Amino acid sequence: MARILVVDDAKFMRTLVKDALSSQGHVIVGEAENGNQAVTMYDSLKPDLVTMDITMREKDGLEAASEILKKDPNARIIMVTALGQEDLLARAIKMGVKDFVVKPFPPERLQQAAQKALS
């Protein structure tokens, strides 16, 4: 059972992520709708795992992930992204992001990515 921070600018997408992960017994400790909130909430909540959308206003997921990983190199982050962002995903993986899931995703794919990142 992990404590998870869900970051996505779309509320329905946060709900899909929360449902997929809480059904596995994980606890959703927070939700952020942009990268600025994600960084602040990561610092205060210290979650075991972050699911991070790449494309968001104010601060995108790559910037937020980079800031989090600079402060905490052991942070476990999974990028959740739309198709066609392979170049951004390659940068994210090089940066230290654990895995990525392409939207729309079956819940099992997200659960598998979470399990991999947490092990």
Can the peptide bond before residue 107 be classed as cis, meaning omega within 30 degrees of 0?
Answer: no
Distance CA 99, CA 117 (A): 7
User: 69 and 75 in contact (C-beta within 8 Å)?
Assistant: yes
pLDDT of residue 75: 98
Strands across the sheet containing 99-102: 27-32, 3-7, 49-53, 77-81, 99-102
Per-residue pLDDT of the chain (119 residues; tens, 9 = 90+): 999 999 999 999 999 999 999 999 999 999 999 999 999 999 999 999 999 999 998 899 999 999 999 999 999 999 998 877 778 888 899 999 999 999 889 999 999 999 999 99
Domain boundaries, the chain: 3-111
For the full predicted model, state whether its pTM sits above 0.85: yes
What pLDDT shows up at residue 84?
Answer: 76
pLDDT at residue 117 in the model: 96
What integer pLDDT is reported at residue 82 of this predicted model? 82
pLDDT reported for residue 90: 86
Q: Which amino acid is at 73?
A: P
DSSP 15: H
Query: Options 3.30.1330.40, 3.40.50.2300, 3.40.50.150, 3.10.105.10; which CATH number does 3-111 get?
Result: 3.40.50.2300
pLDDT at position 113? 97
